[in-house]
Amino acid sequence: MSADCETGRPKRVLVVGAGAAGMACADTLAQHPDRFHVSVVEAQSHCGGQMFSIPIDQKEYGASWLNQGVQGGSHIYHHTFYVFKKLNHHPQPVDLQVSFGKGNTFWTNVYPTQLVARHSKDIKRFSWAIKVMRWFELIFAMIPIKVSLKMFFFSDEFINCMIYPSLALFLGTGNATPNLPTVMMERLYTSPTYGMWYPIDRKMLTSNLPPMVVFPEATAVYSDWKESLEKRGVSIRLDTEVKQVLARSQQDGVRVSIIRKLKSNVSPLPSADASDSEQEVKHSENDAIGEELLEETYDEIVFCVLADTAKQILGKEARWIEKKVLGSTIWSDDVTVTHNDLDYMKRWYELQYNDQVAVSDLSGRDESGRVEKAKKLFQPMYLIKQTPADARKLEMSFDCSAFQYQFPKARSREIQVSEPACFPNRHVSCLHFSQTIFLNNKHVDTWSKNEIRPEKIIAENWWHQLCHSYAHYLFVVPFLFCLNRVRSHRYHTRFAGSWTLVNAHEVAVISGIAAAYSLGADYPKELKEDRFARLCFRLYLLLVHWRCSESNKHEHGFDSIDDCYYMSFQGCHAAQSFRVDEFVIQGGLCENKRWTRLQSASKPLY
């Protein structure tokens, strides 16, 4: 199935896009050089797609690089960890602290505030409502969050200030959060495996500090990955764009038109102050010394690009179902501003412990111990504000100095004012190296981007992002099998990318492996021994490709669902393995006994 039956030669496979999905697909196919000849083309001048790093001044900021686009993820990213381990890169675990809102609408998962106390009844009712949503999951899977929350009569302040920010943070859904299917919210609070806010605190809503993982230097990872693939015979061509699919037929395969840009010396990284489209125009005008137009024929093509890009490349060759499904995806253009404007951050976010809004008692439960520890240890990494013009619209920021591990950590943010001599070779504001994301340029009138001082801006990057909504899970995801199913293979086309499910690096990697598997490649042996990874892959393969993977029993695999709770960091952090539901934050901030209690094997995995 994986080799040309008539000639016996390896199948020629074209992978369009060198992001996480494309590289994972090529890596999986490269296991079989006798069965596949793989070519990867990438329109940009670097691999990694939206995951890359930019160089910064080490003397000024305490580190020589900063990750953009993708900074980290959940402990359940087993396929991503597998890639890091192969390339000898080591992500670091971190205990996530968040800061939502400002002043009287501020709350955090570290210590209780007046907003939490004010909505104690809503929180108690929410814990009950989540159980109801769990019982009737199939029904609520079709209902958007904004509707289901109103069905239980929650107040607008509780919804806008507490629920929406807590969901947008983990899912990365931004202003599309109200339109998400309710089941996604329910799982974040009820799943012991990937539920970021599991279990619900009936008095504080969220009192645990979720274990997260910070990724290593992105550009180094993808550069090493590119080099590794090329050594194994994979052809990777950067600055090369598939212009159009000219023909697809069962007998002759896929014929494509390719443009290779001939350039002078160009930085392999995206411009810090240009969008993707502006970046392309700049290169073509200033750096291009010509273009080479080619026509090539392949046995198979795998689109590892955005859905709207794939639709454009297919052009007239697109089938009606491809036009319908790919055209049903909705996109927005966001901008990330990387800066060290501490005044801007203080104006809109709570960066330090705020004694004026702290609460030591929640409905009779003593919280003084948590408050005292927060005075010393509060260092939020993810921050969200509601825009004044519309409380449902969000702005997200990251304190890179606290989250990304390459930066020296200060004992407290007060150090930047009272003890600058502790870091004599660094700029005072480097402790607040921040990234602020302004969501959806259609809502630019709600942005405060112009308040960031220009001289404090380090980089500015635009992103073409998927808008998650219940419509995406009604009209796109359920019909992806029509694009990838066996009957469609006579068109020799597969689709992969994070847009096929949810915008996450792990999904992109899984989708690339699944596309390669559908072509006849084997699931990586190392991942076969990881039952949780294998389960995620099988579920994705069943949903998107309508295929079942082999379910061989492996000697070192997990033997029970309970074993799935072991999130091993072997290979991403030396000899560091822990049980997620027994994880306790260093410093004692998370003392919830329910979090440390061993979960029963009878508990559902999802």
| Cβ proximity of 119 and 157 under 8 Å | yes
Q: What angle do CA 81, 84, 88 make, to 5 degrees?
A: 135
Enter the tokens of residue 458. 């380090």
Half-sphere exposure of 220 (CA within 13 A, CB side): 14
State pTM to two decimals. 0.85
Q: CA 130 → CA 170, 312, 549, distances in Å?
A: 18, 41, 33
Residue with the bigger pLDDT between 195 and 253: it is 253
DSSP H or E run through 362: strand 361-362
Residue 280 has pLDDT above 50, yes or no: no
- Residue corresponding to tokens 């009604």: 474
Write the DSSP assignment of 20-41 as a string of letters.
Answer: HHHHHHHHHHTT-TTTEEEEEE
Centre a 10 Å sphere on the Cβ of residue 343 and count the other Cβ atoms it contains. 13
Q: What pLDDT band is residue 553 in, cutting at 50, 70 and 90?
A: very low
**CA 267 to centroid of chain Cα atoms:** 25
**pLDDT range class, residue 487, cuts 50, 70, 90:** low
pLDDT at 268: 54
CA nearest 95: which of 113, 115, 72, 77? 72
Q: So what's the pLDDT on residue 562?
A: 33
Q: How far apart are the first and last CA of the chain?
A: 34
Instruction: Give me the helices (H) in 235-288, please.
Output: 276-282
pLDDT top residue among 289 and 202: 202
For the stretch 324-367, pLDDT in tens is: 999 999 999 999 999 999 999 999 999 999 999 999 999 889 99
**β pairing state of 382-387 and 98-100:** parallel
Length of the chain: 606
Structure confidence at residue 581 (pLDDT)? 33
Q: How many CB atoms lie within 10 A of CB 327?
A: 14
**pLDDT per residue as tens digits for the range 566-586:** 333 333 333 333 333 333 323
Residue 410 has a pLDDT of 54
Backbone angles phi, psi at 316, to 5 degrees: -70, -15
Residue 172 vs residue 323, higher pLDDT: 323
515-548 pLDDT, tens digit per residue, is 999 999 999 999 999 999 999 999 999 999 998 8
Q: At 432, is the secondary structure helix, strand, or coil?
A: helix
* Homologous superfamily assigned to 11-54+218-330+475-522: FAD/NAD(P)-binding domain (3.50.50.60)
Residue 409 φ/ψ region, left for φ over 0, alpha for ψ in the -120 to 50 degree band, beta for the rest: beta
Q: Give the mean pLDDT of 469-495.
A: 88
Residue 418: the pLDDT is 37
Q: Residue 289: what are its φ and ψ, rounded to 5°?
A: -115, 10
394 pLDDT exceeds 60? yes
Query: What's the mean per-residue pLDDT of the chain?
Result: 84
What percentage of the chain reaches a pLDDT higher than 90?
66
pLDDT at position 551 is 57
Query: In 10 A of CB 331, how many CB atoms?
Result: 15
Structure tokens at 167: 């969901």
Q: Report residue 565: phi and psi, to 5°.
A: -75, -10
Give mean pLDDT, residues 90-101: 94
Contact between 96 and 217 under an 8 Å Cβ cutoff? The reply is: no
Provide the pLDDT for residue 270: 57
Structure tokens, 425: 């070779």
pLDDT of residue 173: 79
Q: What is the pLDDT of residue 431?
A: 53
Domain coordinates in residue numbering, the chain: 11-54+218-330+475-522, 93-215+332-466, 561-596
- The model's pLDDT over 60-70, given as tens digits with 9 standing for 90+, comes to 888 899 999 89
**What band does 192 get if pLDDT is binned at 50, 70 and 90?**
confident
Mean pLDDT on 432-457: 93
